Amino acid sequence: MKPLARNPSSMPVSGIRTLMALAGEMPDCLHLEVGEPDFPTPPHIVEAACRAARDGFTRYTPNAGITPLREALVEKLRQENGLAVSVENITITSGAVNAIFAAIFSTVDPDEEVLLPDPGWPNFELVPRCYGAKVVRYSLDKEQDFTPADFDAMDRLVSEKTKAIVVNSPSNPSGSVFPPETVKRLVEFAQRHDLYLISDETYEDIVFAGQHISPARFDAEGRVLGLFSFSKSYAMTGWRVGYLVASAEISSVARKIHEPTISCVSSISQAAALAALQGPRHYISEMVTAYRRRRDLAVEILKEYDLFSYLPQGAFYTLVDISSCGMNSYSFARSLLAERKVAVAPGETFGPAGGNFVRVSFSNSDETIAEGMRRLCEYIHARRSR
């Protein structure tokens, strides 16, 4: 038989998914690898979806999404993000993953280059690689809490083929929140090199210190594409609803891409998303309070074992340094799972800069985090002494 398609066949497998699959076969495993809220979807959102289904709201919707949801997002973006947009700038997507796909496919051609954060979420790499675009990584400085610091080095990465830069704050995997001056410099960097700036703002509501700033606030040219999601803010990962905010020209192309890929987002899920926007927000603050408490618990245990290196300011992750163990992060994660029954995400799946780390998620109970962090820290010390 003829060979399969070259680009998708050569794509790496996400290390997060690999560890999740292994951990799923271990019923008494402590899960610190999963990057989704452990809270249920708020009941008023679930009821809105049930009502939509009962009322027969079960047919195709426009490629761009239903108008009431886009109108509600116009107001949300104005009030919460300081952005003045219209419904023509908003495209409803099947989660933020689909928004990333639409954003990169709309702006980058095969053989062109995309600048990606290192460390950064694996899907930032998988999307361009699946159709032949090239990825070039820019470093996030560990000494600066995993934020971009060396803009001179970033300048040197730009070539005539560079088309876009991906930015992620609050960050997966580090939990860093970029300060406003850094966000502004990133937009200026994109302007200086005539690049599109693709901003993943999935964790915008999960901030413990500082303030989330949308890069589009500093953009007057329409070069910033904002990617947003209902998954983390409203505990709606399985509902698969996100949205892309971009210029009318880019949005028009993104909707064309929807037709041969997803056609449209589930009508029932869009009804649920509209209810999320229109309903109470205390659920978000309660989840953020829990994540902050869990972060503090994990940090105190890291300090107790002399393994603390920085304080995550958002999202629900931290990177733990395993460089003293003499193992790559995949081997470490597999051994930790086999020997101590704790699942973490290998840092290498987030890029070369993640090789000396594992990612820990705070999206589990206080008891699980406390026990899992102690087992992790004890294992690091045990490996050090071998």
* One domain, residues 120 and 161: yes
Distance (Å) of CA 14 to CA 105, 123, 125, 228, 330: 20, 8, 10, 21, 11
**Is residue 23 scored above 90 in pLDDT?**
no
* One domain, residues 171 and 83: yes
Q: How confident is the model at residue 106 (pLDDT cuts 50, 70, 90)?
A: very high
| Alpha-carbon gap, residue 316 to 293, rounded angstroms | 11
Percent of the chain with pLDDT over 90: 88
* One domain, residues 239 and 178: yes
Whether residue 105 lies inside any domain: the answer is yes
Structural domain for 296, as ranges: 6-41+282-384
Instruction: For the beta carbon of residue 291, count every other beta carbon within 10 angstroms.
Output: 27
Q: How many domains does the chain have?
A: 2
Q: Which of 278, 305, 322 is the last residue of a domain?
A: 278
Q: What is the CATH number of the domain that holds 266?
A: 3.40.640.10
Q: Is 165 helix (H, G, I), strand (E, B) or coil?
A: strand
Q: Which of 250, 278, 306 is the last residue of a domain?
A: 278
pLDDT of residue 386: 61
* One domain, residues 334 and 316: yes
| CA quadruple 199, 204, 210, 214: dihedral, nearest 10 | 40
| Alpha-carbon gap, residue 351 to 22, rounded angstroms | 21
* One domain, residues 48 and 32: no
Q: How confident is the model at residue 181 (pLDDT cuts 50, 70, 90)?
A: very high
Percent of the chain with pLDDT over 70: 99
Whether residue 332 lies inside any domain: the answer is yes
Q: Which of 258, 278, 298 is the last residue of a domain?
A: 278
| Alpha-carbon gap, residue 371 to 350, rounded angstroms | 25
The neighbouring-strand residues paired with 130 are none
Whether residue 1 lies inside any domain: the answer is no
Helix 282-304 and helix 366-384: axis angle, to 10°? 30
| Alpha-carbon gap, residue 349 to 12, rounded angstroms | 9
* One domain, residues 340 and 304: yes
* One domain, residues 32 and 74: no
pLDDT of residue 385: 59
pTM: 0.95
The mean pLDDT value for 203-225 works out to 97
DSSP structure class, residue 204: T
How many Cα neighbours within 13 Å face the side chain of 111?
A: 1
* One domain, residues 32 and 172: no
* One domain, residues 342 and 323: yes
pLDDT of residue 206: 98
Q: What average pLDDT does the chain have? A: 95
The neighbouring-strand residues paired with 92 are 243
- Strands 317-321 and 357-361: what pairing? antiparallel
